[in-house]
A = this chain, B = another copy of it.
Amino acid sequence: MENRLIDDRHIDFLLYEVVDAESLCELSYFSDHGRDTFSLYLQQARKLAREVLYPTYRTLDLEPPELKDGAVRVHPELEKILPRMVDLGVVSATRPYEVGGQQLPFLIFGMANAYLMAANLAAYGYLGLTTGAARLIESFGSEDLKSQYMKRMYSGEWTGTMALTEPQAGSSLADVATRAVLTDEGHYLLSGTKIFLSGGDHGITDNIVHMALARIEGAPAGIKGVSLFVVPKKRFDGEDLVDNDCVVSGLFHKIGWRGLPSISLTFGDRGDCRGYLVGEAHQGIRYMFQMMNEARLMVGLNGASTASAGYLEALRYAQDRPQGRRLKGREPGAPQVPIIEHADVRRMLLRQKAIVEGGFALLAKASALQDRGEHADDERERERASLLLDLLTPIAKSFPAEWGFEANTLSVQVHGGYGYTSEYLPEAWWRDQKLNSIHEGTTGIHGLDLLGRKVMMKGGQPLMLLGEAIAESVAAAHEAGVEGAWCEALQAAVATVGELTAHLGGLGMAGDPEGMLLHSDDYLSLLSIVVVAWQWVDMAAAAKRGLARGEDTERAFYEGKLYAAQYWIATELPKTTVLAELCRTGEDSYVRIDALSF
């Protein structure tokens, strides 16, 4: 049996039985769409993932890019794969018709693209980043920048990168030091070094467009003095493309995503690197942040997809691999049983299932909010959706990264000694997954973002919206016949979050932000567990409704949801009590310890 990477039935269940994807078609932006176009897109993505991307996954992992004579050489298979993804609309499917897009809901786009990520995360990366880069130009760039750069990126002719990080700054974008000096001709001359540019050089397309943060001469210190520039590898000189003085100054040896190069790039070594300002000066960070929800949902999708591939591989292995016997009635000489018969293996599998499917459910919900936040015809609906999405984003990004990593670790463990070898695939997904807790904001930063910014926004509105949404789900779950105790446990946890947040908010208002944020990581874990419990209650309700329809072929599928829900409520939700206690008491060991005492 082939690894299907992601369970199609689960994705369809989420789209049509849990989040009601079709209701998005009532919005005018999506009005040309319907379940038929959704299905077609999904089907094409599944096919491409399984038939084209997955077969080259290990190849790209084993033969990573090399830096030779100042240029990065990537695996030649990518030249065949990338255009296939472009054809599927990976770069532009959600974009408006006028820029060449298909106005597809992000929800459908995300769930379909998840297959491509599960199949070959590194190959996907080239185009995922291109979308992000092109969108910045679409939203904030001049018409010139759009016609010269954005169009070629959306069409897949060129790729794009994010050139944010610098060696001395890392996560601290306030410390970006790349300089930009305005010339008489209207462009800027850039100088500085960027690191961790994924897909920063490759040779597959004729050009690469870097979206770079830099500081214009005389700009204020800190994040309010950072501007956004288009800095192409090759710039236009009339109709011709000429070298733009971007020098590959190093290639990082990543431990995963090995088909996608991560480089350091030096701008302006010979004083001739031109950058074109996007939007207004000093607004770079604000522009970046406006794109961030979507970028972070994409990282969440990476995480869920990578965990899914590992889970389904472990499931397949556990079904096929005979070893040992049941505890009761083990006769020497009796045939061995498949390891899925052993309780501890089942525990590891159900844990993976609960993480993977719970993660996808959260991402589906967040993606639908992204669609409504951007395209609802009613302004108030857009606002509400955006606020709730703001709150859910740090969780939708970091839950699949952190718990997904645990799932991938369990996938290795289920494979035993074989899992520790590169003759089997789980270790590769396990390495890939680890990046997701680091890039696009570390988990620590998302904890600070959630507790220091998101839950406190607009007088606590986002958390109220979350409470309302969960209350609606609980009411529906009751009606569908979901276990009352599960609903009560979820609501009790929500009440705990509310009280705790009020307490911590009080510390912040009393001028003690460090006290408020001391356990921001625990707070992020706590709210993640609760939010995923909400998904499981929702899925349990949909499963109950499915069972009530009484189709026998679907019974096993729906019952699986109920057991996974039971698992999550019983195993994870009680941990919130411990986490809440740590946050509330402000357990202070790690702030009080002297640096010399470590």
Contacts and interface: CB of A to CB of B under 8 A. Distances in A.
A542 interface: no
A35 interface: no
Contacts of A564: 589, 593
Given A343-B514, A349-B598, A593-B346, A438 B423 contact: no
A595 interface: yes
Contact of A597 (B254, B427, B559, B587): B559
Interface stretch (A78-86, A229-237, A291-299, A412-420): A412-420
Contacts of A581: 574
A327 B517 contact: yes
B560 A598 contact: yes
B327 A170 contact: no
Nearest to A557: B597
Contact of A521 (B344, B566, B594): B344
A135 interface: no
A456 to B, nearest CB: 14
A564 B168 CA distance: 31
Contacts of A556: 594, 596-597
Interface string A303-324: 0000000000001000101111
A461 interface: no
A168 B322 CA distance: 8
Contacts of A195: 417
B593 A560 contact: yes
Interface string A404-426: 01000100110011011111000
B590 A170 contact: no
A92 interface: no
Contact of A343 (B196, B323, B517, B560): B517
A340 interface: yes
Nearest to A558: B597
Contact of A421 (B171, B253, B345, B518): B253
A553 to B, nearest CB: 11
A563 B598 CA distance: 9
B594 A566 contact: no
Point out which of A405, A435, A563 has the most chain B C-beta atoms below 10 A from its C-beta: A563
A598 B315 contact: yes
A238 interface: no
Contacts of A326: 514
Interface stretch (A104-112, A116-124, A442-450, A491-499): A442-450
Interface string A336-355: 10001011111111100100
Contacts of A225: 332
A174 interface: yes
Interface residues of A, number: 103
Nearest to A350: B590
A348 to B, nearest CB: 8
A221 B566 CA distance: 40
Contacts of A453: none
A567 interface: yes
A570 B582 contact: yes
Point out which of A340, A353, A417, A427 has the most chain B C-beta atoms below 10 A from its C-beta: A417
Contacts of A557: 597
Given A221-B332, A564-B589, A598-B315, A255 B417 contact: no
B336 A595 contact: no
B563 A587 contact: no
Contacts of A443: 413
B559 A594 contact: yes
Contact of A169 (B315, B323, B521): B323
B520 A344 contact: yes
A409 B437 CA distance: 11
B435 A597 contact: no
Contacts of A518: 343
Contacts of A578: 574-575, 577-578
A140 interface: no
A243 B566 CA distance: 59
Contacts of A559: 593-594, 597
B323 A444 contact: no
B332 A223 contact: yes
A423 B252 contact: yes
Given A175-B336, A560-B597, A563-B593, 20 more contacts: A165-B417, A168-B322, A172-B325, A174-B324, A175-B323, A222-B331, A222-B333, A255-B420, A255-B422, A327-B513, A327-B514, A328-B514, A344-B521, A346-B593, A350-B589, A413-B438, A560-B593, A570-B587, A575-B578, A578-B578
> Which 4 A-B pairs rank lowest in CB-CB distance, beginning with the nearest?
A222-B332, A560-B597, A221-B333, A221-B332
8 contacts: A254-B420, A343-B520, A343-B591, A344-B521, A346-B591, A353-B598, A560-B596, A567-B587
